[in-house]
Structure 1
Amino acid sequence: MIAVTRGVENKTARKFISFIDEFRKLNTEMQAGQIALFLHIVATPDLTIKELAQRAGLLEGGTITRNLDALSESRKVNNKGKVEMVPGHGLITLYEDPLDRRFKRVKPTNKGLRVYNTLVQLLGA
């Protein structure tokens, strides 16, 4: 067990709350899995979706695709049988691998990098 003084403990907790609040500014319903995926993308940009899924411990397919869509500029949603494009969080972009067009790669957008830099400042890292 780690002994922590109450003041330090509260300061650390407040940093974590600020971290979460930063994502709530983007969307109050952003899921923890999307936040974790975004942080993986910032830490190791330009991975293929398959590589990203392996690093994040997700199955390639539905779950990662839905989360990447939500983190992108826009995403498709099915609204009563009609597919519509709705705004995403705009934190990442997917692009074709320049050497093999069968693969998509993912990297943070400028907005995503700004959000990440804000998080780094909040945590004092």
Structure 2
Amino acid sequence: MPKEKMPWEALLRTAAVIQGATATNLKRVLEERILNAKVEFTLKEILEIAKKEFHDVIIDSIKRKRQLMDEVGMSHAIDAELYKDEEEVDNGYKKSTNEKNGYNQRVHFKDYSDKEMEASSH
């Protein structure tokens, strides 16, 4: 009988070892999956933070661009007004200088046609 028990006991021991190994492997698999889930959750959190920060950076950039465009527009308006004023001053200077030099003098012609019409109508 001891010979018959021996294979049975060996079989039970082998089953226990297999069960222990399976339990250990299962534990490792579960630990690995839990760790993967934690890593995935952490990565999602990091990506959400990065996404929000990226979104904020884009919005700030757009706001700064609009502000600069407004400032450039104001600068162009001021420049245009200054140019207009300079042009008026420049034109006034040219006009007065030309008149002093005898240029741009107005020539007045007497219109006798109106007088002739008045005389012929009476």
User: For the superposition of Structure 1 and Structure 2, which TM-score range results when normalised by the shorter chain?
Assistant: under 0.3
Bigger fraction of residues in strand: 1
In the superposition, the TM-score normalised over structure 1's length comes to 0.25
Larger relative contact order (Cα-Cα within 8 Å, sequence gap ≥ 6): 1
In the superposition, the TM-score normalised over structure 2's length comes to 0.26
